[in-house]
Each structure stands twice: as structure tokens, then as C-alpha cells.
Amino acid sequence: MSRNDDFDHVIASWLRRQAPPQAPDRVLNAALGRVASVSQKRSGPRRLFGGNPVTMLTRVAAVAAAVAFVAFIGLQLSNLNGTVGSSQSPSPSGSTEATSSPSPSSSVSPSASSIAPQPTDAPLLLRLWLGNEAGAYHAMTVLEDGRVITTADPGSANAPVERRLAAAGIQLIRIELAATGLADRSADYFPIAKPGVEPPPYGGAPAKLEVAEDGGGTVVITWFLHNSGNAYFEPQPEAEALEAFGQRLLTLDEWLPADAWAESNPVPYAPEAYVVRIETQAWGGSLDDLGPETSSVSWPLAGGIDGFGDLMNETGEPSVRCGVVDANQGSEIIDALVAAGATQTDLTYPAFALGKRASVELVTIDLEPILPHTDAPCASPGNLLAP
């Protein structure tokens, strides 16, 4: 058994000894007392029906994401000698337009909190979201310039990858989209119970398709296809058409001809901006185990690490600072952290650890890529435990 296994065993044993074997009776009694006066949430079209598990579309998404992720990991491993900074700048053939991000002078050193992400040059064509009981999550974004950005299934990885379609590929997707006959107006398509039938309860986030309109607006279509057959619900032709279209999107490799791709191998997604979260918390270990001092980092933005972005929590630990930086600034931050010898905690998601020995604190810095045409999610301070 390795030293790590030994220590894991020590921790597991200690936690088991610490855990109370049973809850006091008052806990269950009090909870059930409260339950007696609480109604279940059954109102609203999104929570009325169902009972069936994950839709076929979700399963296809998981498989497609896994395929893309495996290919991406292979690429990462083959490029392992490169720095993290350089791994964020893929160069697919014919992709110079997309990767030529804005180039502010690094000597300007603007404050991160005042920086808005640079708008991408390429308009959105469409974006597909899938849903589960925990909420909606990004599955695929297709831009007019042919970039196809795919996010792996939540919980398995969070390393978006991108490929690039040729004009012919974009056209084929447009044709598929038009064939649904549903892409020109926003609508919700949810199961409708048959008269006299009590459907099983159902909820969770529906799938969602955003389609850019010529005039600059966005059509938003949501649906949930209940695949319990027709026992409980009226036929759902619209949801079935959308589900089929979603499946086509997630299996592009299976039906697009080779010349529909300008670059079919996935590369790490090159974001136009990052959300940077800096967490500072007390360190309980030896100072020898802390990463390099924060003061040793040539932080490229004004205000330094301690003054970065906005403080997201007034009290409590860890303290969280958050800001949005553009791609160049993100690369500069990554390069500065690598140069300082900051401990990298993940290969696919730029994350680093530093230390403050005087105050015995651990400082972690994560850079989360932002998807095109989405709002910067700084309001959620890197902790999805929060509602």
C-alpha cells in the first residue's frame, strides 16, 4: 500500500469514528412536523409531468462529450511539454481569425474589475443546453465562423473543446435546423397529460435551444420529451423534432461528410475571456508544503493579487475575489503563475496554488473559460454549493 493509500485510510477511519451513528430523534420528528404543513411543488408547466429519467438526448450528449474529451486528452498528452499558457491558444488550420484575440498592451495593466470581455467577432448561430435535475448545462455552441464548442458532461470534466466547420458544414446544420420548422419562434414544448390520466410527477431543467435571428435577436425554444410512450401524454411532435435535431448536433461526426469540417480534431477551447477566482484560506499544514509566495508572482494587472477583481464575500472563509479578464490577460496571468513556479492543480482547467507564509494562508487561483455570447458568471463566486 502506498503512503497516499495509508493516509487516505487514516482519514477515512478518523471520519468514520467522528460520525455520529444515528441522528437524534428530535431531528426527524421536527422535520416531519414541518413537512406536515408544507405542500409539494407541483405547479408550473415545467414541473407537472414526467417521472422518466434522463432523455435520450442527454445520453447522447454524454457519449459525444466523452468522445470529444478523450480526443482532447489525447491531444493534451501529446502536447504535454508545452506550458499551460500556450495550451490555451489552439491553432487549428484556417483558424487565424478566431484565435486573433485583442491585444492590449501588457504595460497598461488595467484593473480586472473594470474589464469587460471582448465581444467575439463571430455571431452566434445556435446554442444547445441540456438539463438534468440539478439544472441546465451547456452542451454545444456553434458560431457563424464555424467554431463548434462542446462542453463535457457535468461531473466528468469541465474542459470545453472546439472544432471548426467549413462553410458547407454550417450550411448543412442550417438545413437540419430549418427542417424542424420550429426555429423561427420562441416556444416551450412540454408534455401535456391525456384527459383523465394522472401522469407521474416530473421536473428538472428542460433542454433549450437558442437560435440567433437575422435581426440580432435570439429565438429560445425549450422542450422536454417524455419518453414513457403515449401512456400518459399527448403526442409531442415538436419535442420529438427538437430532440432529433439535438441528437444530430451531438453526433456531427456520424453524418457530416469529411469536407464539412475545416478542422475536425478537437482542441482546447480558446476563450475570449476568463473568470478568475482567487480563494484565500487558512493553511493547516507545514509552510514547506505551501506553494510559492504570492509576492513572488509578477501579477500582470494593477492592484496585485490581493486587489484583484471584487471581493465576493464580506465575511467567512475562504475569502473569494473574482474578476473577468480577457484572453490576453488570462494568458499573462497563467504565464506569470507558471514563471513563479505556482503549483498547478489540474491539467485541463488552469488552476494554481500559492502561499502566504506570514499569515499561514493558502491561495488558489482558478481561471474558468467563458463561452462566447454569455454573461460573465462572477456573481456565483466559484462555489456551486450556493443555490
Question: Restricting to residues 24-43, which ones interact with another protein according to CB under 8 A?
Answer: 24, 26-28, 30-32, 34-36, 38-42
User: Toward another protein, which CB reaches closer, 58 or 101?
Assistant: 58
Beta strands, E only, 151-241: 161-165, 187-189, 207-212, 218-223
User: Toward another protein, which CB reaches closer, 50 or 85?
Assistant: 50
Q: How far apart are CA 9 and CA 269, in angstroms?
A: 38
Instruction: State the nearest-atom distance from the C-beta of 25 to another protein, in Å.
Output: 10
Residue 298: partners with Cβ closer than 8 Å, 6 or more residues away: 336, 339, 340
Cβ pair 271, 370 in contact under 8 A: yes
Q: Does 204 bind another protein (CB under 8 A)?
A: yes
User: Toward another protein, which CB reaches closer, 169 or 369?
Assistant: 369
**Among 1, 2, 16, 259, interactor with another protein by CB under 8 A:** 16
Binding segment for another protein among 114-122, 169-177, 213-221, 359-367 (CB under 8 A)? 359-367
Q: Does 181 bind another protein (CB under 8 A)?
A: no
**Among 202, 223, 261, 299, interactor with another protein by CB under 8 A:** 202
Residue 366: partners with Cβ closer than 8 Å, 6 or more residues away: 276, 277, 279, 349, 350, 351, 352, 382
Residue listed under C-alpha cell 451531438: 250
Instruction: State the nearest-atom distance from the C-beta of 82 to another protein, in Å.
Output: 18
| Residue 326 burial (CB count, 10 A) | 23
The residues in 258-317 that bind another protein, with binding defined as CB under 8 A, are 279, 281-286, 289, 315-317
**Amino acid, single-letter form, for residue 221:** I
First to last CA, the chain: 40
310, three cell numbers: 471584487
**Among 87, 95, 120, 364, interactor with another protein by CB under 8 A:** 364
Cβ pair 334, 88 in contact under 8 A: yes
Binding segment for another protein among 179-187, 194-202, 214-222, 301-309 (CB under 8 A)? 194-202
Q: How far apart are CA 16 and CA 200, in angstroms?
A: 38
The residues in 132-161 that bind another protein, with binding defined as CB under 8 A, are 132-134, 154-159
Q: Does 56 bind another protein (CB under 8 A)?
A: no
Q: How many residues bind another protein (CB under 8 A)?
A: 78
Instruction: State the nearest-atom distance from the C-beta of 255 to another protein, in Å.
Output: 28
Cβ pair 26, 20 in contact under 8 A: no
Q: Does 74 bind another protein (CB under 8 A)?
A: no
Q: With CA atoms as reference, report the closest residue to 201 among 48, 363, 38.
A: 48
Q: Does 200 bind another protein (CB under 8 A)?
A: yes
20, three cell numbers: 455520529
DSSP letter (8 states) at residue 293: B
372 sits in the region (left: phi over 0; alpha: psi -120 to 50; else beta) called beta
At residue 62's C-alpha, the angle toward residues 347 and 249, to 5°, is: 110
**Among 110, 203, 303, 377, interactor with another protein by CB under 8 A:** 203
Q: Does 2 bind another protein (CB under 8 A)?
A: no
Instruction: State the nearest-atom distance from the C-beta of 21 to another protein, in Å.
Output: 7
Q: Does 228 bind another protein (CB under 8 A)?
A: no
Radius of gyration of the chain measured on its C-alpha atoms:
24
User: Toward another protein, which CB reaches closer, 234 or 289?
Assistant: 289
**Among 52, 99, 118, 228, interactor with another protein by CB under 8 A:** 52
Binding segment for another protein among 49-57, 97-105, 119-127, 301-309 (CB under 8 A)? 49-57
The residues in 339-358 that bind another protein, with binding defined as CB under 8 A, are 345-346, 348-349, 351, 353
User: Toward another protein, which CB reaches closer, 108 or 360?
Assistant: 360
Residue listed under C-alpha cell 494554481: 352
